[in-house]
Structure 1
Amino acid sequence: MSLIVQKFGGTSVGSVERIEAVADKIAGYRDQGHSVVAVVSAMSGETNRLIGLAHDIQDHPTPREMDVLVSTGEQVTTALLSMALNKRGYTAKSYNGSQVRILTDDTHTKARIKSIDGDRIRKDIEAGTVVVVAGFQGVDEAGNITTLGRGGSDTTAVALAAALKADECQIYTDVDGVYTTDPRVVENAQRLDTITFEEMLEMASLGSKVLQIRSVEFAGKYQVPLRVLSSFVDGPGTLITLESDTNMEAPVISGIAFQRDEAKISIMGIPDRPGVASQVLGPISDANIEVDVIVQNVAADNTNDLTFTVHRNDLQDAAAILNQVAEKLGAREIVTDDQICKVSLVGVGMRSHAGIASKMFAALAELSINIQLITTSEIKISVVVDEKYMELAVRGLHSAFGLDGEPESVE
């Protein structure tokens, strides 16, 4: 009937019992007449165990050998799942990344996929075989094993779906879809039936942990229908598509994302002249520190104050670099704050509705939450606030924009 690529994460295959349950799920799709390619992660905790072994041997493990080591976790799962399917009377065959010929660049531990040779898999599919592929890994031009970085099995699944022209790519995880926000923060968060690639990409980049960012980018680029489902409960999940919901009553805001591990740095009193921002942020970028929100203000004395955010783990390194920059530029002082968070509204409906920002700011003001920084895009508004107000802000905005029930209109 159709070709479906199904990806099962570490919690979905975390034990022999869970692998047996996954085999039953795949068998159900085969019985309906569907062809299935399964992509699996390592069993829950296995990758961390292997990394721990590496660090027991070497403080800074060689990247090539690290890839050889951690790629074995997924290979164990492929073999066990294939055995479980064979036991049920279905022909199944396991492949690792090099056998499929998932060709990547040679950047060990965070490689990127260049191409996939799907010929062998297509022949197996035509013969009625369930193909089980090890996620997270590939091979470079020289034949070296590579890995795609943590969460890379999602990318493997979407890339395979694109290469095989699958009818749908299903990502099975421990949640039953994409929610308007984290249900652990807002009890009445709603599962979304559909969400656009654009919205999901923003949600993923802004803190939502449901899908890996690169997999969403890949799906959007190749227009692969992507569905998030639960391995533990049956349900329709959330479909991620190119088009937005045309329902007139659909909410303007699709979801609220948040990031706890943010830190803010301000360099005060730098000269107001062209190129200064580059002199400040260039060394930060050279140190592979990702900068997020950036705000620059001109003071009354014709000096600049430049404020930006980084991941909290990068704060000390960024501050050390800025101390050197400040000395060269004659800056007045550097101020840091590691007790902030970012809260973001996401929705393609922002394009056609005015007043989103003002409604957001009013809702936060009513809760006496001070906004420190603001950044916007066509479908996103993010604010930086004190971390202690994060959950209050998320709950307040979730209610203000009608995400916990009937959608509210924006005046």
Structure 2
Amino acid sequence: MVKLGGSVLSSPEDFMRAAEVTKRDFEAGNEILLVVSAMKGQTDQLIDMARKVGASGELLDAIAGLGEVLSARLMASALNSIGVPSVAIDPCSPIWPIYTDGSFGDADPDIPTTCGAAISNIEHMLGKCVPVVCGYVGKTREGKLTTLGRGGSDTTAVILARCLRADEVVLVKDSGGIMSADPKIAGNAHKLSNLSAEEALTLSMGGAKVLHHKAVRYLSPTVRMRVLSIDGGSFVRGGTIISGHIPELKVEVHEKPVSMVTLIVDGDLNGLDLRPLSESKLDKAVILYLDEPPEEVVKKVHPLVERGVVKAISVKKDLAMIKVWGGAIEDVPGVINKISDPLASMGINIHGLQTVHNKIAVFVDWKNREVAASELEEALG
């Protein structure tokens, strides 16, 4: 499963170059399905024009996806011209596989319907030809045209890889993989060889533009993701490998009691020999959550009091850390209230609550951990 981004499809020469790489890998015995984005800048132009003439809803989505239709037909033509049998598949095709809900502009995939269509319509083609599927676009079961939102072509490729039980989904970008930082900002940024799905989701939700968080969310645990550049001359090696799986929504209780250590800080905490499970800072207060014995923590920190870095220390023992996380958190409106309100209604005090993108950690008394976790599972569905 290979997705070609718009940044690598900007000219006829780009299409022919991608076709030549596809041909080498296909003739080496690899089953390949291509998912293509619109050419660079084309979707923005289409949306801008559509809005200026008053298009909205389904009509706006139908216009926004025309760039992918063009790319699919150009890519299939390029492949056929060099002897690789290929067929373009767009929402008008009788074998179209991508089905969604009716949320125009940012639709979510209908996984069961999509998998059924992909297996029935496309699976038998693999290895015999190279299907080229429009990324980003979809349609409802009623036939209304939709789009999957920004980065939607990545999502298309990941979903098809999941449905067709691919070994790997390859996202071809203009970078050689996922970098340690934005190379435009950090001159010594380097390519990462591998990431877990959880790490990749955290980076993408934090603003890393090379990867869309919705694509990571739908990654199957049996499918590797590879992010690479076409410059390597192959889609089956190099780049950054992402492996693992993101649950839709999960409630987990940390296996050991946790201590909340509060520091009133007057200086720099560098060199502190602690590995907190979580931490937060506001003004002069630093709060560390650790599963080390609190007495040991105080012994490690108190020398900073003597040096004038920390003014005072307090410890609250025997807390439980309950982590709520998963790809579906962004789909839960008022998720913080859905965590705090049920616990409050049961008289369970929340000693701390922290959020990092798709993860929320809530701290309650250790004795209440089981009933609190059960209540959260029920409240969050």
> Which has the greater radius of gyration?
2
Cα distance change on mapping 1:98 and 1:180 into 2, 3 Å:
same
Partners of 1:83 and 1:96 lie apart in 2 by: 14
Give the structure 2 partner of residue 249 of structure 1: none
Check whether the contact 1:196–1:240 (CA below 8 A) recurs between aligned residues.
Answer: yes
Letter of the 1:111 partner, please give it. A
* Segments of 4+ moved more than 4 angstroms: 294-297, 374-381
Check whether the contact 1:194–1:240 (CA below 8 A) recurs between aligned residues.
Answer: yes
2:239 aligned residue (224, 237, 240): 237
Partners of 2:25 and 2:282 lie apart in 1 by: 55
Scaled by the length of structure 2, the TM-score of the pair is 0.61
Check whether the contact 1:7–1:171 (CA below 8 A) recurs between aligned residues.
Answer: yes
Partners of 1:98 and 1:79 lie apart in 2 by: 12
Matched position secondary structure for 1:189: coil
Matched position secondary structure for 1:162: helix
Partner deviation per Cα, 1:137-194 (whole Å, 9 max, x = no partner): 1110211111101110000000000000011000000100111111121111121111
Instruction: List alignment gaps of at least 5 residues for structure 2.
Output: 246-279, 284-289, 302-352, 361-381
Letter of the 2:64 partner, please give it. V
2:97 aligned residue (95, 101, 113): 101
Partners of 2:70 and 2:39 lie apart in 1 by: 8
Q: Report the Cα offset of residue 231 of structure 1.
A: 2.2
Scaled by the length of structure 1, the TM-score of the pair is 0.57
Q: Report the Cα offset of residue 214 of structure 1.
A: 0.3
Cα distance change on mapping 1:43 and 1:351 into 2, 3 Å:
farther
Give the structure 1 partner of residue 67 of structure 2: 73
Give the structure 1 partner of residue 319 of structure 2: none
Letter of the 2:75 partner, please give it. L
Partners of 2:91 and 2:62 lie apart in 1 by: 12
Check whether the contact 1:97–1:135 (CA below 8 A) recurs between aligned residues.
Answer: no
Give the structure 1 partner of residue 369 of structure 2: none
Give the structure 2 partner of residue 387 of structure 1: none
Cα distance change on mapping 1:133 and 1:296 into 2, 3 Å:
same
Q: List aligned pairs for 1:105-116, cutoff 5 A.
A: 105-115=101-111, 116=114
Partners of 1:153 and 1:39 lie apart in 2 by: 7
Matched position secondary structure for 2:48: helix
Residue 44 (1) aligns with residue 45 (2) = no
Q: Report the Cα offset of residue 135 of structure 1.
A: 0.3
Check whether the contact 1:97–1:138 (CA below 8 A) recurs between aligned residues.
Answer: yes
Give the structure 2 partner of residue 18 of structure 1: 14
Partners of 1:206 and 1:236 lie apart in 2 by: 25
Partners of 2:91 and 2:227 lie apart in 1 by: 23
Residue 226 (1) aligns with residue 225 (2) = yes
Letter of the 2:143 partner, please give it. G
Give the structure 2 partner of residue 200 of structure 1: 200
Instruction: List alignment gaps of at least 5 residues for structure 1.
Output: 244-293, 298-349, 359-373, 382-411
Partner deviation per Cα, 1:317-351 (whole Å, 9 max, x = no partner): xxxxxxxxxxxxxxxxxxxxxxxxxxxxxxxxx99
Give the structure 2 partner of residue 168 of structure 1: 168
Matched position secondary structure for 1:175: coil
Check whether the contact 2:221–2:244 (CA below 8 A) recurs between aligned residues.
Answer: no
Residue 89 (1) aligns with residue 83 (2) = yes
Q: Report the Cα offset of residue 25 of structure 1.
A: 1.1
Kindly, what percent of the aligned residue pairs are identical? 32
Cα distance change on mapping 1:351 and 1:27 into 2, 3 Å:
farther
Letter of the 2:99 partner, please give it. L
Letter of the 1:208 partner, please give it. A
Q: Report the Cα offset of residue 210 of structure 1.
A: 1.0
Matched position secondary structure for 1:150: coil
Residue 30 (1) aligns with residue 31 (2) = no
Matched position secondary structure for 2:7: coil
Letter of the 2:25 partner, please give it. Y
Matched position secondary structure for 2:83: coil
Cα distance change on mapping 1:145 and 1:351 into 2, 3 Å:
farther
Check whether the contact 1:351–1:378 (CA below 8 A) recurs between aligned residues.
Answer: no
Partner deviation per Cα, 1:37-73 (whole Å, 9 max, x = no partner): 0000001111111112113212xx3211001111111
Partners of 2:133 and 2:354 lie apart in 1 by: 40
Cα distance change on mapping 1:181 and 1:87 into 2, 3 Å:
same
